[in-house]
Amino acid sequence: MNGDRDRELIQSDETLFAIIDALKQSDGVGVSQVASAVGVSKSTAHRHLSTLLKHQYVVRTASGYRLGLRFLDLGGHVREQYPSFADVEPKVTELAETTGELAQFIAPEHGKGIFVFRRTGEKAVRTEARVGKRVFLHHTAAGKATLAAMSDETVSEIIDRWGLPAKTDATTTDRDALFSELNLIRDRGFAIDADEHLTGLWSVGCPVMATDDRVLGGISVAGPRHRMKDAGIESALPELLQAIASEIELNITYR
């Protein structure tokens, strides 16, 4: 098919990933459905699934194959293997309890943002995001704060790779507009997202730096517009966030 520069990849792995993706799309599917979804023969799908089953990456239920809890193990391991994250988690909890709203920590990877920690306070809104979810960095306050902590060159590479798609009407989709917003964020030290991710949801975010002066990710608080305004989205909340970010950075440095 595309016969020249895939010599450096392994096609069996790619079909394996396609199968994992198919299982992720719809839980409880049979061999035949997987085969047709991925575009391989039944026997191929069957062999891949048997291998996955042997290594306990999937389980068989009455309704078919599903991804197994082994992925929870790998996910937990990955989160634990970044030593700095251990200092972030309690602070996210503290932030959620202090504000009563939704507190989150997003880490950048492959140019996107991944929700690493999420804690809901008393009155926090229930959004659909869950730990591990990948979002565009320019869609959230924590993500924009993270971008602002990177060099323009790095940000450019990210934009080239993923573009600047809109999520709501308020999302920044213009390259120059984003860069000037990032400069503003660099000046004042925090980012604001007003309806840019979900309409009605506002959030404040600020970056958390690692010891090597590279950005670890962004921490944020999110809530409905009126409550965020009342809580001081331009002054009190940013100060609280920056204080917490500093504490995290200190803990990382002197751990």
Partner DNA sequence: TTCACTGTTCCGTCTTGCGGAACAAATTAA
Partner DNA sequence: TTAATTTGTTCCGCAAGACGGAACAGTGAA
List residues binding a second copy (CB under 8 A): 8-10, 12-14, 16-17, 20, 24, 27, 46-48, 50-52, 54-57, 59, 66-81, 107, 109-110, 114, 116, 130-134
Residue nearer to DNA on the CB measure, 67 or 170:
67
- Least Cα distance to 218 among 56, 127, 107, 81 occurs for 107
Residue nearer to a second copy on the CB measure, 47 or 186:
47
Query: Are 61 and 50 a contacting pair, CB within 8 Å?
Result: no
Rounded CA gap, 68 and 57, in Å?
Answer: 5
- The residues facing 14 across adjacent strands are none
Terminal-to-terminal C-alpha distance of the chain = 53
Q: Which two tokens stand for residue 72?
A: 């929870």
- C-beta of 73: minimal distance to a second copy in Å? 4
- C-beta of 251: minimal distance to a second copy in Å? 16
Q: From DNA, a second copy, none, which one binds at residue 32 (CB under 5 to 8 Å depending on kind)?
A: DNA
Query: Are 153 and 182 a contacting pair, CB within 8 Å?
Result: no
Q: Establish how many alpha carbons lie within 13 A of residue 51's alpha carbon, considering only the half-sphere containing its beta carbon.
A: 12
Q: From DNA, a second copy, none, which one binds at residue 188 (CB under 5 to 8 Å depending on kind)?
A: none
Q: From a second copy, DNA, none, which one binds at residue 126 (CB under 5 to 8 Å depending on kind)?
A: none
Rounded CA gap, 85 and 79, in Å?
Answer: 7
Q: From DNA, a second copy, none, which one binds at residue 31 (CB under 5 to 8 Å depending on kind)?
A: DNA
Residue ranges binding DNA (CB under 7 A): 7-12, 15, 30-33, 40-44, 46-50, 64
Crossing angle of helices 236-253/85-99, nearest 10°? Answer: 150
- C-beta of 235: minimal distance to a second copy in Å? 32
- C-beta of 107: minimal distance to a second copy in Å? 6
- C-beta of 45: minimal distance to a second copy in Å? 11
